[in-house]
Structure 1
Amino acid sequence: MTTTEQPPVAPDAPAAPPTPAAPRRPRTSSRVAAAAGARRLRRGALSGLAGSRSGIAVVRGWLFALWRLVVPVARRVWVVVGPVVVVITPVGWLVLLFSGLSIALSAIFGWQEFTYLGTVLLASVALSTVFLFGRASYGVLVELNPRRVVVGDRAMGRMLVTNIGPRPLSPTRMELPVGKGVAEFQLPAMQPKEEHEELFAVPTNKRAVIVAGPAESVRGDQLGLLRRALKWADAVDLFVHPRTVRLLPTAAGLVRDLEGQVSKTITNNDIAFHALRPYVPGDDRRYVHWRTSARIGQLMVRQFNETRRSQLTMIHTSRNDLYASEEEFELAISVTASIAAQVIRDGVQMNVVSETGVWRTQSVTSMLDSSCRIDPVGKIFPTVREFARERTKRLPAPSVVMMIGGSRMTTAEYRSVESLFGQDTSQVAFHVELGAQPKIASVAGLTVITIGDLDDLSRLVRGISS
């Protein structure tokens, strides 16, 4: 048996006083109840949140299942009901509404007058269905002559209708949408293979793309309650080009030499000679200047100024707040189209951009067609500089930049666009102000041309190219 020896204790050593315990704050019954209540609230909130999330998930599942069930049924119902519903005009829906309201009032209050009114309205809709029956077999040809005109020129259209069916056709009405209007023609009864021709004039007092068609044969009652229309021909476009003036060749201020524009960039192989420099391993021996090398006893090679092919970029802003009137906007379009047409005829590479995109410039006709689609727009880009940067960043580096804006476009905005291009780029700004006196000014290296009449364009452009 092992015994553990205890250390001896000095008889005279005083005992250590006990450490006093910290006084405990008595917890009252109210505090205990409050803490328990808070715990219960937290547990209830968490459980409620979990329950609400699970409830939302269940509701979403039910809604998704209901949607997958309702959509196919609605589509099948619309296939059957749709052709019937679409023949009812807004006037027809209004008659049906009053008819149902009259019958309801008659059933509630027993008023015979409303019974009579509801019956008459329903009968009128029912009788209108008789005018919808019948088959039509038309061959319709819509032609515009010419397809492209200048603002103010006369444009005529022709609609040729042929009965291509084996049975005679009763008289009907043919509608042909032309721009924002609708031309109506009353077709007579037609025998098989019989033709009927209608001529119409197209208004061309404004630059636009006028869509003629598609032609529709219309069956319906004289009250306009029901209407059934069938399309017989595709739409045809009429391009109303802006008014332009003819400029002299090379009058657009571009370089006239065939090799291109000489820049200040130094290159090892080109046409425009610059200077001689010592030979460096890797240089092309074809450019060694042997006479100078033999005279000084060291190989010398030629250096050249880089020449660039002329590349024109025209920036046409079409923001409506930069123009004082619609006539001023049309003048700016005419200025841009006139210069672009002459540049294309000269065979110079070019691009024309506006807020809505890049114009087609493969030919003069395609460029003028693109100009017909340009309309005043809102503030698509924050600033004019941002617009020019965004629309030209994917285009080839230009040698000449032309900016066209309205009278409300400030010189600072022209200068902000100028800063996007290098110092080797020639830049011209056309400040279009309707009725202003023509003048040419230079603002910190930027040529600013003020033009108030399209007839002054040729003289002004000739002035900057001389």
Structure 2
Amino acid sequence: MTTSLDAPPIAIEPDADVAQATPEFVLPPAKEKRLSGLAPVAASFRAGAQIGARATTRVVRAGWGLVAPYVEVVSGLGALVLLSGIVALVLGLLLGWPELTFMGIALLVAVLVALLFLIGRSTYSIDIELNPRRVIVGDRAIGRVLVTNIGKRPSTATTLEVPVGEGLAEFAIGGLQPGENTEELFAVPTNRRAVILAGPAVSVRGDQLGLFRRAVRWTDQIELFVHPITTRLHPTAAGLVRDLEGQITKKITNNDISFHALRAYVTGDDVRYVHWRTSARTGQLMVRQFEESRRSQLTIISSSDTRYFASDAELELAISVTASIGSQVIRDGTQISVVTENRVLKTHSVTSLLDDTCRIEPLTGSTATARDFAREATKRLPPPSVVVIIAGSLMDASDYRAIQRLFGGETNVMALRIEEGARARIQDVAGLAIVTIGALSDLPRVMARAV
């Protein structure tokens, strides 16, 4: 019998039953039992470690609270002099260098002498006053610090520090007899709109070299509001809505003040609205129908995003325009809401509105588009009857139109485009009045024409 060498090879596949019968690696029962017995021990160890870490943190915090008052009196220079003195003294003694030893002793003596200036307690009563508490940009504001020694012993000389905005006012307070007081005045810069914080008043006791410094806080901070410059508007121009009963809507209701028509009585109707004369003539009860009205609601959408303004001065002009319109509307008794990117301004009084305009800060890119800003800022406000959009010269007309489309057809929308130095004018863009304002003095005349 012959065998062909060209016969194809035979593929041998593994037996499925044999593959399935191959056992997996399994821990011996004794070892598995020992490992399972160690799990509670590991859990207890982790819990103990966590408890220990928390206890250590508490101890460290408590310890720091005890030593902090003593460590904080040492300035950076004082720590350097103290460390240098110790190192110089130790090296001088070990190496036998008299010069190094003398230098270490001199530095440590200087530290001990400086410590003597911290001895003593201050018994002051300190008051900070600002007169007035609210000013307009450019007006003069004076601060007053009254220091009184309320102790039974004469006080030693000290230095009083009062932070004022980004600056610091320093006063040298001499020794005061019991009950004696001294007064110090300081000027507050009011060249820009802001909320300026004055205080806290801090008395500083220390040496002339500045090795040690012990500060005691005596007062809290007080606020000085530097209001934006505003202008008075004609009441009807600022109110923008000159009806006394509110804007009439097309919605029909059973009780309001704007009469619409008569209809047949339906069970449940209020008999107070039955028109008896018509009912007697027709032989059928007739009741009044009304057009729903609402009180005028003005919403001012004022942007403070720097991408819409060509300069800081343009932004400040926009805030002045916002404050001017809002103040007049509040005086006229019309309901108003004023929103910016990061706040809803208080409008229950003219003063509260002006105070909040001082807190408006320029920002960049808070929302993707102007429409997103307007939608987010107004979604929780009452439905407006009039909307005023205030932005800089870099906002496109398409952005104003996008904001306009957020509101219904019954809402009157006006856009104020602030461009410093530009000629005042009014443009109609697809039914939207865009008013360009180049100076605050243009606002009364332009608003009177726009409405």
> TM-score w.r.t. structure 1 length?
0.83
1:192 to 175, 178, 181: 178
Give matches, 1:393-404, under 5 Å.
393-404=379-390
Give the structure 2 partner of residue 407 of structure 1.
393
Give the structure 2 partner of residue 85 of structure 1.
71
**Contact residue 253 and residue 464 of structure 1 kept, 8 A:** no
Give matches, 1:86-165, under 5 Å.
86-96=72-82, 98-99=84-85, 115-165=101-151
Secondary structure at the aligned position of 1:421 is classed as: coil
Secondary structure at the aligned position of 2:413 is classed as: strand
1:247 to 224, 230, 233: 233
Q: 1:103 to 1:312 in 2, by over 3 A?
A: farther
- Deviation of residue 170 (structure 1)? 1.5
Residue type at the aligned position of 2:202: E
Gaps of 5+ in 1: 1-21, 27-31
Residues 293-345 of structure 1, C-alpha deviations (whole Å, 9 max, x = no match) = 66667655443222110111111122222222211111111000000000000
2:57 to 55, 61, 71: 71
Secondary structure at the aligned position of 1:72 is classed as: helix
Give the structure 1 partner of residue 339 of structure 2.
353
Q: 1:227 to 1:285 in 2, by over 3 A?
A: same
Give the structure 1 partner of residue 5 of structure 2.
none
- Deviation of residue 180 (structure 1)? 1.0
Give the structure 2 partner of residue 182 of structure 1.
168
CA distance in 2, matches of 1:336, 1:439: 18
Residues 422-442 of structure 1, C-alpha deviations (whole Å, 9 max, x = no match) = 111111111112222211122
| Mapped pair 1:332 → 2:318 | yes
Percent identical among aligned pairs is: 56
- Deviation of residue 169 (structure 1)? 1.0
- Deviation of residue 202 (structure 1)? 0.9
| Mapped pair 1:225 → 2:188 | no
Residue type at the aligned position of 1:254: L
- Deviation of residue 257 (structure 1)? 2.5
Secondary structure at the aligned position of 1:333 is classed as: helix
Residues 389-439 of structure 1, C-alpha deviations (whole Å, 9 max, x = no match) = 222222211111111112222222222222222111111111112222211
Residue type at the aligned position of 1:211: L
- Deviation of residue 374 (structure 1)? 0.9
CA distance in 1, matches of 2:365, 2:42: 42
Gaps of 5+ in 2: 1-10
- Deviation of residue 136 (structure 1)? 0.9
Secondary structure at the aligned position of 2:390 is classed as: strand
Give the structure 2 partner of residue 366 of structure 1.
352
CA distance in 2, matches of 1:449, 1:386: 22
**Contact residue 253 and residue 461 of structure 1 kept, 8 A:** no
Give the structure 2 partner of residue 203 of structure 1.
189
Range moving further from structure 2, 154-163 or 302-311:
302-311
Q: 1:278 to 1:331 in 2, by over 3 A?
A: same
Secondary structure at the aligned position of 2:78 is classed as: helix
Q: 1:300 to 1:332 in 2, by over 3 A?
A: same
Give the structure 2 partner of residue 273 of structure 1.
259
Q: 1:24 to 1:371 in 2, by over 3 A?
A: closer
CA distance in 2, matches of 1:98, 1:400: 72
- Deviation of residue 380 (structure 1)? 2.8
Secondary structure at the aligned position of 2:329 is classed as: helix
Range moving further from structure 2, 291-300 or 118-127:
291-300
Q: 1:90 to 1:405 in 2, by over 3 A?
A: farther
Q: 1:120 to 1:328 in 2, by over 3 A?
A: farther
Range moving further from structure 2, 368-377 or 268-277:
268-277
Q: 1:127 to 1:246 in 2, by over 3 A?
A: same
CA distance in 1, matches of 2:69, 2:215: 11
Give the structure 1 partner of residue 8 of structure 2.
none
Give matches, 1:33-52, under 5 Å.
none
Residue type at the aligned position of 1:202: V
Give the structure 1 partner of residue 327 of structure 2.
341
Give the structure 1 partner of residue 422 of structure 2.
436
**Contact residue 239 and residue 329 of structure 2 kept, 8 A:** no
CA distance in 2, matches of 1:405, 1:50: 70
CA distance in 2, matches of 1:367, 1:463: 25
Give the structure 1 partner of residue 308 of structure 2.
322
- Deviation of residue 282 (structure 1)? 3.8
Give the structure 1 partner of residue 6 of structure 2.
none
Residue type at the aligned position of 1:403: I
CA distance in 2, matches of 1:92, 1:238: 37
Residues 227-271 of structure 1, C-alpha deviations (whole Å, 9 max, x = no match) = 001122222211110000011112125222221112222223322
CA distance in 1, matches of 2:335, 2:390: 18
CA distance in 2, matches of 1:281, 1:192: 85
CA distance in 1, matches of 2:75, 2:229: 42
CA distance in 2, matches of 1:241, 1:420: 31
Secondary structure at the aligned position of 2:178 is classed as: coil
CA distance in 2, matches of 1:442, 1:128: 75
Q: 1:50 to 1:85 in 2, by over 3 A?
A: farther
- Deviation of residue 154 (structure 1)? 0.6
Q: 1:447 to 1:57 in 2, by over 3 A?
A: farther
CA distance in 2, matches of 1:341, 1:142: 30
**Contact residue 219 and residue 227 of structure 1 kept, 8 A:** yes
| Mapped pair 1:460 → 2:446 | yes
Residue type at the aligned position of 2:138: G
**Contact residue 264 and residue 424 of structure 1 kept, 8 A:** no
